């Protein structure tokens, strides 16, 4: 304490001396050299760099040149943003904007306006932020700096990322990264963009790609501590998502050490909150409590409401998990009350679900029942939303019918117009002696021709839409049964549907799959969650097969894959890949994360000629193999590799005794299993990250938004 008092006294004396000197004559300060020195200092000691830039601004005073004042303002804005002092950073942006407008600096004003856009993004006013960003970029002069261009691309990516438009967000970040390629001294900005790209991959449920992007960012040299901490943090989240827990916790500790070294309180709070959430998931409630308390202290210092909510929720559930219900309940109830005010239904459902389970585990069944009833009320609201979506689907069906009628009307109109064109041409040829009438008739013919061309274009577009809808499933976008039937009609005499392949190239595979326990998903979380599971499983299946393969929604929760000309040795590998792709990661249904597995029946036989064993027989046999997989515990694929009897004999036995051992004796079967499921791990409510809501300890870890 005495040392700190002496230090304050020295600063006071120094300030007094500088103040007296300022009245006498402004000191000579080499601002460009100071800015370069502060940038180097910020890499390892951002707080010291901030103190230095404030000192230089005081030394220059209000009489300094516009260029020097603006340089120091932009430097201080950047430092405060890196340190998480966002309110102070936005205030400096407003000061910089006023200064630029007063001096007619359009480029400087455009760069300062981006601060107002970032402020709207942090408040999640995304529509207003997009409007202001578009206006700012449209009004910016042609000579704007590289800093403005990169910041605009980064801000656009942040808006798109928060809207879950991940492909467009990735394109925006890559655009900013291309602008910085080859630019010396911009490693920090490049590292920050790599960090944001990694966050996009985390949000898109691709943690392996996130690790690759984080590694590219960490390969940059001489970067500031904040982007380094952000990259380490994002890499830790990705490692946990991949199940590499020991590496993930070590990466969290590295990120925390970097944040503490730089004085990044907001980053510290987010990291500790995610560590606490990790221990909650694994029911290590003592360690979860320790980290949650530290996260709460740090989040209160930076006044970040979202991070405070996450820390309080984690602390409450950690205490309740230890049986300290009376201590933990006030923290949890406080967060629930704020969520009720904000009407964040999905997060509120997750909080109520976790609280009910905690009370039930503690034996307080009456209170748990009250929580369950409130959660059911919220689920009914979600059901009404699902009903509204169903009504919208019916409206779409009505619109499709109306478009069909429009096609008929357009066809009739085309015939009338064609007849009218013929008549006018006859009149034109008959009245060639009158030049004026000929010109007028030619104009009329041209106009009618253009109208007919437009009508034909509309007809072609509507026909294309109807053809697509007739061959694809409306919910998942996959092929439907009609589409597969049409393809099978063209397989030809050799059994192949692709004439470029030689029949000896491989086998034709029919994979019939069924989502395990799908009815329980609908019964517990509602049909909205069931639809989300169907859509995600369809996406994963499409990603797991070749471009030449055909993925079909067979009906309900059943899917079919037709893979022609498949190498015999790769059939089992294909089945494993399908099971792994679908079953490794749970499906994020918004309010919950649902583990999903498949049971499949696979028929891998060379194409045969004649009618004894056609594709329909193969599908029937695959259905039998699927039934065997379900009977043997699900989460597996049963592969028919060879017929041990004539095809007609096998099919006759299948019709007589479809579920018995008679059919199995006539076949050669192989079996592969899906990813092992942890029986203790139940479907968990989704946890928002520190930038969007409170964590509950029941979901995966999340990346800090806006880092």
Catalytic sites, residue numbers: 557
The answer to whether the beta carbons of residues 644 and 666 sit under 8 Å apart is yes
Rg (CA), the chain: 33
Query: Which among 148, 173, 176 is positioned nearest to 160, based on CA atoms?
Result: 173
- Strands in 667-673's sheet, in edge-to-edge order, are 550-555, 558-566, 507-515, 598-605, 636-643, 667-673
Sign of CA dihedral 591, 592, 593, 594: negative
Sign of CA dihedral 190, 193, 197, 198: positive
DSSP string of 285-307, one letter each residue: HHHHHHHHHHHHHHHHHHT-HHH
What angle, 0 to 180 degrees and rounded to 10, lies between the N-to-C axes of helices 187-203 and 207-218? 170
368-to-162, 313, 320, 354, 493 alpha-carbon distances in Å = 34, 17, 13, 10, 65
Provide CB contacts within 8 A for 368, sequence distance 6+.
356, 357, 359, 360
Query: Which among 354, 323, 320 is positioned nearest to 336, based on CA atoms?
Result: 354
Residue tagged 């069906």 (tokens): 397
Tell me the C-alpha distance between 149 and 186, whole Å.
13
The answer to whether the beta carbons of residues 307 and 295 sit under 8 Å apart is yes
The answer to whether the beta carbons of residues 31 and 72 sit under 8 Å apart is yes
Phi and psi, residue 222, nearest 5°: 55, 55
Q: Is residue 423 exposed (0-12), middle (13-18) or buried (19+ Cβ within 10 Å)?
A: exposed
Q: Is 519 helix (H, G, I), strand (E, B) or coil?
A: helix
Query: Which among 154, 159, 117, 122 is positioned nearest to 139, based on CA atoms?
Result: 117
Tell me the C-alpha distance between 3 and 307, whole Å.
34
Residue tagged 């960012």 (tokens): 217
Structure tokens at 126: 């995304």
The answer to whether the beta carbons of residues 97 and 277 sit under 8 Å apart is no
Sign of CA dihedral 649, 650, 651, 656: positive
């Amino acid at each position: 304490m005495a040392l700190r008092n002496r230090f304050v006294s020295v600063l006071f004396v120094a300030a007094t001396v500088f103040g007296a000197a300022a009245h006498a004559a402004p000191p000579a300060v080499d601002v460009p050299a100071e800015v370069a020195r502060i940038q180097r200092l910020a890499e390892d000691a951002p707080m010291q760099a901030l103190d230095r830039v404030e000192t230089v601004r005081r030394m220059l005073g209000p009489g300094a040149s516009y260029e020097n004042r603006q340089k120091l303002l932009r430097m201080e804005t950047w430092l405060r943003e890196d340190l998480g002092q966002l309110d102070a950073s936005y205030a400096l942006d407003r000061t910089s904007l006023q200064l630029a407008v007063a001096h007619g600096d359009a480029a400087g004003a455009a760069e300062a306006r981006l601060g107002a856009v970032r402020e709207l993004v942090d408040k999640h006013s995304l529509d207003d932020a997009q409007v202001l960003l578009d206006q700012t970029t449209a009004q910016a002069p042609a000579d704007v700096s590289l800093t403005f261009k990169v910041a605009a691309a980064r801000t656009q990516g942040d808006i798109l990322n928060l809207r879950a438009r991940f492909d467009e967000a990735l394109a925006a970040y890559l655009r900013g990264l291309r602008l910085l390629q080859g630019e010396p001294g911009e490693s920090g900005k490049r590292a920050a963009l790599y960090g944001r790209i990694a966050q996009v991959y985390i949000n898109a449920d691709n943690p392996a790609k996130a690790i690759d992007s984080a590694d590219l960012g960490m390969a940059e040299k001489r970067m500031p501590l904040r982007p380094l901490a952000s990259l380490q943090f994002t890499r830790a989240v990705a490692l946990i998502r991949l199940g590499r827990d020991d590496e993930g916790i070590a990466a969290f500790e590295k990120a925390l050490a970097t944040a503490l070294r730089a004085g990044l309180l907001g980053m510290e709070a987010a990291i500790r909150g995610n560590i606490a959430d990790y221990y909650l998931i694994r029911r290590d409630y003592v360690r979860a409590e320790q980290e949650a308390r530290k996260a709460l202290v740090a989040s209160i210092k930076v006044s970040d409401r979202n991070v405070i909510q996450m820390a309080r929720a984690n602390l409450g559930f950690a205490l309740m998990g230890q049986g300290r219900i009376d201590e933990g309940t006030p923290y949890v109830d406080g967060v629930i009350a704020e969520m009720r005010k904000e009407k964040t239904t999905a997060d509120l459902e997750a909080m109520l679900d976790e609280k009910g389970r905690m009370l039930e585990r503690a034996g307080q069944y009456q209170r748990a029942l009250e929580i369950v009833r409130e959660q059911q009320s919220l689920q009914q609201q979600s059901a009404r939303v699902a009903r509204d979506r169903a009504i919208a689907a019916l409206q779409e069906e009505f619109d499709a019918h109306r478009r069909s009628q429009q096609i008929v009307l357009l066809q009739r109109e085309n015939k009338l117009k064609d007849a009218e064109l013929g008549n006018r041409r006859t009149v034109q040829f008959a009245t060639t002696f009158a030049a004026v009438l000929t010109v007028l008739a030619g104009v009329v013919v041209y106009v009618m021709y253009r109208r007919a061309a437009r009508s034909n274009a509309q007809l072609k577009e509507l026909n294309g839409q109807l053809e697509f809808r007739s061959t694809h499933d409306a919910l998942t976008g996959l092929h439907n049964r009609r589409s597969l039937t049409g393809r099978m009609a063209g397989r030809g005499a050799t059994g192949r549907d692709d004439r470029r392949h030689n029949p000896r190239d491989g086998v034709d595979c029919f994979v019939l799959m069924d989502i395990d326990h799908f009815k329980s998903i609908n019964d517990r979380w509602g049909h909205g969650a069931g639809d989300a599971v169907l859509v995600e499983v369809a996406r994963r299946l499409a990603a797991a097969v070749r471009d030449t393969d055909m993925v079909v929604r067979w009906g309900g929760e059943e899917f079919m894959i037709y893979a022609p000309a498949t190498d015999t040795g790769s059939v089992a590998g294909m089945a494993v890949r399908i099971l792994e792709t679908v079953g490794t990661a749970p499906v994020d249904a918004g309010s919950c994360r649902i583990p999903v597995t498949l049971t499949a029946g696979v028929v891998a036989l060379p194409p045969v000629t004649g009618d004894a064993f056609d594709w329909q027989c193969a599908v029937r046999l695959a259905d039998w193999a699927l039934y065997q997989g379900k009977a043997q515990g699900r989460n597996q694929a049963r592969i028919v590799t060879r017929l041990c009897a004539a095809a007609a004999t096998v099919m006759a036995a299948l019709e007589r005794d479809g579920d018995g051992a008679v059919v199995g004796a006539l076949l050669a079967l192989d079996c592969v299993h899906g990813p092992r499921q942890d029986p203790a791990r139940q479907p968990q409510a989704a946890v928002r990250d520190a930038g969007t809501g409170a964590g509950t300890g029941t979901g995966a870890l999340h990346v800090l938004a806006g880092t």
